[in-house]
C-alpha cells in the first residue's frame, strides 16, 4: 500500500514549478491527479518524461483560476472523470516583479489578490462539499514571506498572509467534519517563477546565488521536496495535523548563518 493509494487530488498551477512537483509526488504515492493550469498542453511532455501520461491517472484541465465559472467547470470535470475528490492543493499563484507600494497600482493589487487569495478561497469552497464525504485534506501553498515579510512586495506578502488566515479559519470550521487544512510556507524554491523574479533584479545570476545563501543549508529547495511535504499533509500520516503552517525552508527563518570558519 502506498500512502495516497486511490486518492484523488486536485492541484492548481500543476503545469510547472511547485505544482508540477506536487503532482508527481501524489502520483508516486499512488494517487490520481486533476491537474489545473492556464495551459496544460505545454506540460504534456514533462509528465511523459516523468513516466505519466494524460488520461487514466492524470486529468489535464486548462483553467484560469481567476475565472469563477471556469473553476466551477473544472471541478465538475474532475468529479465527472474520477467520481470523487479526496484532496486539494491550492498552488496557483504569481510573484510580481519587485515593486514598492508607490509603484503598485490598486488594479495591480486587486488582480494579485484575485489570483493568489480569492482563487484559494473559491477552490476550498468548491472542494469542501466533496472532501467532507470521507474526510479529506486541503493544502494551501503560501510563502515564508507571509510570516517574515519581503521588501518591495507588499501585494504578494499581503496575498500570502491572507492565505494563512484562511487556513486557520477553515481548520477550525472543518475539524468536526474530519477535513484537515494546513499551509506550506517555503522559502526559496528553484522554479521557473523564481527565475522570472530573479530576471527583474539587477544581476539575476548573483541574486540566485544570494537566495541560495539565505538558507543555512546552502541552497534552495527542489520542487520534489515541496511535493513530498504536500503528500505527507494529504496522507493519513498527518491525520492529527490541522491549522498548521509548515516551513520547509532549509533553516532560512532561523536567522543569519555563521559563515566564518571557526578556529
Question: What does the pLDDT look like over 23-72, one tens digit per residue?
Answer: 999 999 999 999 999 999 989 999 999 999 999 899 999 999 999 999 99
DSSP 222: P
Q: What is the average pLDDT across 167-195?
A: 97
Q: Which of 168, 147, 156, 33 has the alpha carbon at shortest distance from 89?
A: 33
Given a cut of 70, whether residue 262 has pLDDT beyond it is no
Residue 260 is a catalytic residue: no
pLDDT score at 197: 80
Q: How many H-runs (helices) and E-runs (strands) does the chain carry?
A: 10, 7
pLDDT tier at 217, thresholds 50, 70, 90: very high
pLDDT tier at 257, thresholds 50, 70, 90: low
Spatial separation of the C-alpha atoms in residues 127 and 94, rounded to whole Å:
22
Question: Quick one: cell of 18?
Answer: 511547485
Out of 139-148, 190-199, 252-261, the most confident range is 139-148
187-197 burial: b if 16+ Cβ within 10 Å, else e: bbbbbebbeeb
pLDDT score at 261: 47
Which of 156, 202, 256, 260 is an active site residue? 156
Spatial separation of the C-alpha atoms in residues 107 and 84, rounded to whole Å:
37
pLDDT tier at 256, thresholds 50, 70, 90: low
pLDDT score at 29: 98
Question: Quick one: cell of 241?
Answer: 495535523
95-133 burial: b if 16+ Cβ within 10 Å, else e: bbeebeeeebeeeebeebbbbbbbbbebbbebbbebbee
Given a cut of 90, whether residue 189 has pLDDT beyond it is yes
Spatial separation of the C-alpha atoms in residues 194 and 209, rounded to whole Å:
12
Report the DSSP beta bridge partners of residue 9.
Answer: 33, 87
In contact, 223 and 21? CB cutoff 8 Å? yes
DSSP 217: T
- Coil vs helix vs strand at 101: coil
Q: What is the average pLDDT across 228-238?
A: 98
* Span 8-31, pLDDT tens digits: 999 999 999 999 999 999 999 999
In contact, 13 and 37? CB cutoff 8 Å? yes
- C-beta atoms surrounding 205 within 10 Å: 9
* Span 97-141, pLDDT tens digits: 889 999 999 999 999 999 999 999 999 999 999 999 999 999 999
pLDDT score at 24: 98
pLDDT tier at 80, thresholds 50, 70, 90: very high
pLDDT tier at 94, thresholds 50, 70, 90: very high
Given a cut of 80, whether residue 212 has pLDDT beyond it is yes
Amino acid at each position: 500500500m502506498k500512502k495516497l493509494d486511490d486518492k484523488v487530488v486536485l492541484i492548481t498551477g500543476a503545469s510547472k514549478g511547485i505544482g508540477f512537483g506536487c503532482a508527481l509526488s501524489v502520483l508516486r504515492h499512488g494517487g490520481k491527479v486533476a491537474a489545473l493550469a492556464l495551459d496544460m498542453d505545454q506540460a504534456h511532455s514533462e509528465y511523459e518524461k516523468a513516466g505519466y501520461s494524460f488520461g487514466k491517472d492524470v486529468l489535464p484541465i486548462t483553467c484560469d483560476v481567476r475565472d469563477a465559472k471556469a473553476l466551477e467547470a473544472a471541478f465538475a470535470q474532475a468529479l465527472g472523470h474520477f467520481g470523487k475528490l479526496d484532496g486539494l492543493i491550492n498552488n496557483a499563484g504569481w510573484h510580481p516583479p519587485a515593486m514598492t507600494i508607490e509603484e503598485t497600482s490598486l488594479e495591480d493589487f486587486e488582480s494579485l489578490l484575485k489570483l493568489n487569495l480569492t482563487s484559494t478561497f473559491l477552490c476550498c469552497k468548491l472542494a469542501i462539499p466533496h472532501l467532507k464525504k470521507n474526510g479529506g485534506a486541503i493544502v494551501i501553498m503560501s510563502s515564508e514571506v507571509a510570516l517574515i515579510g519581503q521588501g518591495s512586495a507588499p501585494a504578494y506578502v499581503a496575498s500570502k498572509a491572507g492565505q494563512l488566515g484562511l487556513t486557520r479559519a477553515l481548520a477550525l470550521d472543518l475539524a468536526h467534519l474530519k477535513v484537515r487544512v494546513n499551509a506550506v510556507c517555503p522559502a526559496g524554491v528553484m522554479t521557473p517563477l523564481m527565475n522570472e523574479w530573479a530576471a527583474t533584479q539587477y544581476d539575476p545570476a548573483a541574486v540566485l546565488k544570494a537566495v541560495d545563501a539565505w538558507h543555512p543549508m546552502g541552497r534552495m529547495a527542489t520542487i520534489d521536496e515541496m511535493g513530498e511535504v504536500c503528500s505527507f499533509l494529504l496522507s493519513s500520516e498527518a491525520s492529527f495535523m490541522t491549522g498548521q503552517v509548515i516551513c520547509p525552508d532549509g533553516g532560512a527563518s532561523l536567522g543569519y548563518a555563521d559563515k566564518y570558519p571557526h578556529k
